[in-house]
Each structure stands twice: as structure tokens, then as C-alpha cells.
């Protein structure tokens, strides 16, 4: 068991943000489906990225690794059933995106994953959509989770997808781009909308034509041929939330580099949430740098986080800092991520003396005097990092157990905090 031990600290300095996990995975998938050789630079060094690369390689893409980039020779719009099962690890994106695209080929593909993927990451909306498009798709254990078996090919047509979780919708959008003919997709209860925007930004980049009406209807012309490309993965807004919160937790001033406010990423709205709580940020568009003044007082407010759902755990910590009460709502889908993030962050922050309560779709947090405790990550990278930030302003020594999961999205997290001056060690 590996743990973080952290004490109240004062921070100062600058860091380069890690690159985007979501962009990394999409770039791998589109390169794998292109005609010719693409080069991808600055892919996130993450187990999820490794699983995405292995999955695409098993489906027919040819991948070459160099010190500067990864070169992928694509399959020109086809995926072939692999020899052996595809392990999506802890990645819902790999499970749902590759699961959808497996329906391009003739034959059977089985996808599995770790315990979280097999028990807490529902895939029924994807399976229902694939079956409606003529493929055979089922959950082996009939528990609406992995392992799943996909047998293609799917056919273009009309399909309805449940959209509270954006990943099945993105998966079906990708699939439709390569089917023979035109596909019309109706989405019920669309959620996590900026992540659909992220997928469609890749459609624009790859010149895949589409029509849309809000987030409830899409028309995709199929049989697209993608040209190879070069791509540099940008900084990740989901990860940016943690050093930003660290600045406020320690009343410090920090500089974040490799941050592009013109980027299409859902968790960019985290900054809007802090603006609503009273924070202001100094952004240099030329340098792509942001100065974060954590000495500004924050006030609690009501936050609808559905567009930036991954920020719920760190916003719960920030709620402990803010004057008054912070109400976080419209986050029910957060219960179906790497962990039940609503329940787990509530449970662990209560160990640290937080005044926090869960609701069916969120949290209610009051300003709290946090104290030392031993807390658990629940094998969830965002909970592990959020509790570490809480330890920066809790009285005494905080121990966060099982922190191996942090490498999923922010492998340099501990090094960055140490570089900024945090009293932190791994044991």
C-alpha cells in the first residue's frame, strides 16, 4: 500500500500542466482509423493511454514508439476483431469508445477491465445502441458492465442513446462516421455536454461532416476517409483544478503553464465556478500561462457541475475553504465513475471533520476546520488528489492511502506539489 503523507504548507512557483487524457485517447483513436501514418506528440503518460494504444494495436493499427512522438499507421476506417480480449483497465473511455468501434468489423470482440469497470461503469446505453444498429452486443455477466462482447458489423440507420454519461454518445458518434450510409442519432437526457463538444471538435479537425440540433440530435454521413495528421496534446483542465485549489488551500500565488483558455475541454468551466465564488485569474494568452492568486477570499454558492463533472471532488474540498455554504448539484452521474465520487468524497472528508452531506445528485458543504486523519482514495485518482489538497490546510498530518491511482491522469502530481514547496512525501 502506497500512501501520501502531507502537512500544511506554503507554496510558490510555477508548473507545466500535464497533457489532456481525453484528447490523448481521441487522438490515438482517430490516428488508428486514418489512412496513413500520423504522429502524436506529448501523449499523457498514463495507464489509460497505454490501454488505448494496446487496444488500437490489437484492432489493427501499427504503432511505433520514439523518444519524441508516437507514430500510428491507421487502418483506413476499419477495425478487425482482435486475438484475445481487450483490457480497458480503469478506462471508461477505452471501454465505450473501442467497444463502439468494435462493431465496425466482422467477428467477435470481448472487452473487459479492472474491478471498477466490471462493477461500477454501466455500459447498457452503449450496448442498446449497438444492438439497435444491427450489431450483437451484450454484457457477459448480464450486470450491464464489462466484460462485454461485441459482434459486428453494425449498419447505418436511426438510433436512440441514453446520454446522462457522454461516453456512449461519443462512441456511437465515432462509429457512425465509418459506417456505410447516414446515421441519425437521438440522445435522451443529454449530459456532460462539453465532452460531446470535445468529440465533435475532433470531427471538425478530421473533416468529418455532421449536423446537430442542440445535444439531442445528430446526423452523421458515414464512410469517411481520414487523412493522417500531426498533433500536440494540449494541457489538461481537469488536472489544472488541483494546483489551482492548492493555491487557495495555502493562500499562495502560483503560475500554471501549458494552459490554453481557447481549448475545448469541459472542465475549463471549473474556472467559471471559482469566478462565481469570488476568484479572479490573470491569463496570458500569448504565453499560455495563468497566474493564480490564492489569497482571494472565496464565498460558497450553488454550482451546477454537470458540464464539469470531474471537478466535483475538488470542489467539495474548496467548499470547506469558502465562507458559508456551497451546494453542488446535477452530478448524479459522478456516482458511476471510478468510484461513487459523491459518497466517497463525503465519507473521507467527514473523517477530516468536514461539515458535508451528500444528496442524491450532489453535495452540501460548509466552511470547515479540517484536521488530521488517515483517509482512503477508493482507487480513484480524483479523490486521492482532492484529499491531498485538503491535507494542505488541515491541522496536523494527513495520510492518503492507496495513491497509485493518481498516475491515471496526473503522474507528476506529487512531484509538482513538492516542487512548489509542499511538505509531502510518499511512503
- What amino acid positions are annotated as catalytic residues? 310
Beta bridge partners of 7: 423
> How far is residue 278's CA from residue 30's CA, in Å, rounded to a whole number?
40
> How far is residue 226's CA from residue 290's CA, in Å, rounded to a whole number?
35
Adjacency order of strands within the sheet including 362-366 = 302-304, 325-329, 362-366, 355-359
> How far is residue 61's CA from residue 78's CA, in Å, rounded to a whole number?
10
> How far is residue 205's CA from residue 191's CA, in Å, rounded to a whole number?
23
Burial class (CB in 10 A: 0-12, 13-18, 19+), 289: middle
Q: What is the 3-state secondary structure (H, E, C) of the chain?
A: CCEEEEECCCCCEEEECCECHHHHHHHHHHHHHCCCEEEEECCCCCHHHHHHHHHHHHCCCEEEECCCCEEEECCCCCCCCCCCCEECCCCHHHHHHHHHHHHHCCEEEEEECCHHHHHCCCCHHHHHHHHHCCCEEEECCCCCCCCEEEEECCCCCEEEEECCCHHHHHHHHHHHCCCCCEEEEEEECCCCHHHHHHHHHHHHHCCCCEEEECCCEEEEECCCCCCCCEEECCECHHHHHHHHHHHHHHCCEEEEECCCCCCCCHHHHHHHHHHHCCCCEEEECCCCEEEEECCCCCECCEEECHHHHHHHHHHHHHHHHCECEEEEECCHHHHHCCCCHHHHHHHHHHHCCCEEEEECCEEEEECCCCECCEEECCCCHHHHHHHHHHHCCCECCEEEECCHHHHHCCCCHHHHHHHCCCEEEEC
What distance lies between CA 123 and its chain's CA centroid?
16
Amino acid at each position: 500500500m502506497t500512501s501520501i503523507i502531507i502537512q500544511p504548507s506554503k507554496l510558490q512557483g510555477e508548473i507545466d500542466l500535464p497533457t489532456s487524457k481525453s484528447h490523448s485517447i481521441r487522438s490515438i483513436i482517430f490516428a488508428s482509423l486514418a489512412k496513413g501514418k500520423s504522429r502524436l506528440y506529448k501523449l499523457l503518460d498514463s495507464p489509460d493511454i497505454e490501454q488505448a494504444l494496446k487496444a488500437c494495436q490489437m484492432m489493427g493499427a501499427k504503432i511505433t514508439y520514439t523518444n519524441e512522438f508516437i507514430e500510428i499507421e491507421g487502418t483506413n476506417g476499419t477495425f478487425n476483431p482482435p486475438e484475445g480480449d481487450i483490457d480497458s483497465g480503469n478506462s471508461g473511455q477505452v471501454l465505450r469508445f473501442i467497444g463502439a468501434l468494435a462493431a465496425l468489423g466482422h467477428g467477435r470482440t470481448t472487452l473487459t477491465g479492472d474491478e471498477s469497470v466490471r462493477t461500477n461503469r454501466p455500459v447498457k446505453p452503449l450496448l442498446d445502441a449497438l444492438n439497435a444498429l444491427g450489431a450483437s452486443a451484450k454484457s457477459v455477466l448480464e450486470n450491464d458492465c464489462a466484460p462485454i462482447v461485441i459482434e459486428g458489423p453494425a449498419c447505418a440507420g436511426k438510433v436512440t442513446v441514453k446520454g446522462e454519461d457522454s461516453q456512449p454518445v461519443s462512441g456511437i458518434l465515432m462509429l457512425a462516421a465509418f459506417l456505410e450510409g447516414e446515421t441519425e442519432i437521438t440522445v435522451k437526457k443529454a449530459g456532460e455536454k462539453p465532452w460531446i463538444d470535445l468529440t465533435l471538435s475532433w470531427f471538425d479537425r478530421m473533416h468529418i461532416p455532421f449536423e446537430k440540433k442542440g445535444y439531442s440530435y445528430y446526423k452523421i454521413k458515414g464512410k469517411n476517409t481520414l487523412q493522417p495528421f500531426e498533433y500536440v496534446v494540449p494541457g489538461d483542465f481537469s488536472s489544472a483544478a488541483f494546483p489551482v485549489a492548492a493555491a487557495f488551500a495555502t493562500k499562495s500565488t502560483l503560475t500554471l503553464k501549458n494552459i490554453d483558455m481557447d481549448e475545448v475541454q469541459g472542465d475549463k468551466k471549473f474556472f467559471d465556478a471559482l469566478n462565481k465564488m469570488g476568484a479572479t485569474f490573470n491569463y496570458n494568452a500569448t504565453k499560455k500561462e495563468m497566474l493564480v492568486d490564492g489569497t482571494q477570499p472565496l464565498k460558497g454558492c450553488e454550482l451546477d457541475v454537470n458540464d464539469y463533472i470531474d471537478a466535483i471532488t475538488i470542489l467539495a474540498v474548496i467548499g470547506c475553504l469558502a465562507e458559508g455554504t456551497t451546494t453542488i448539484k446535477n452530478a448524479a452521474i459522478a456516482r458511476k465513475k471510478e468510484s461513487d465520487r459523491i459518497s466517497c468524497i463525503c465519507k473521507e472528508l467527514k473523517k477530516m471533520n468536514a461539515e458535508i452531506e451528500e444528496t442524491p445528485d450532489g453535495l452540501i458543504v460548509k466552511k470547515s476546520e479540517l484536521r488530521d486523519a488517515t483517509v482512503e482514495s477508493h482507487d480513484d485518482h480524483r479523490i486521492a488528489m482532492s484529499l491531498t489538497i485538503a491535507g494542505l490546510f488541515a491541522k496536523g498530518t494527513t495520510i492518503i492511502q492507496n495513491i497509485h491511482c493518481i498516475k491515471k491522469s496526473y503522474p507528476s502530481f506529487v512531484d509538482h506539489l513538492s516542487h512548489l514547496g509542499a511538505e509531502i512525501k510518499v511512503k
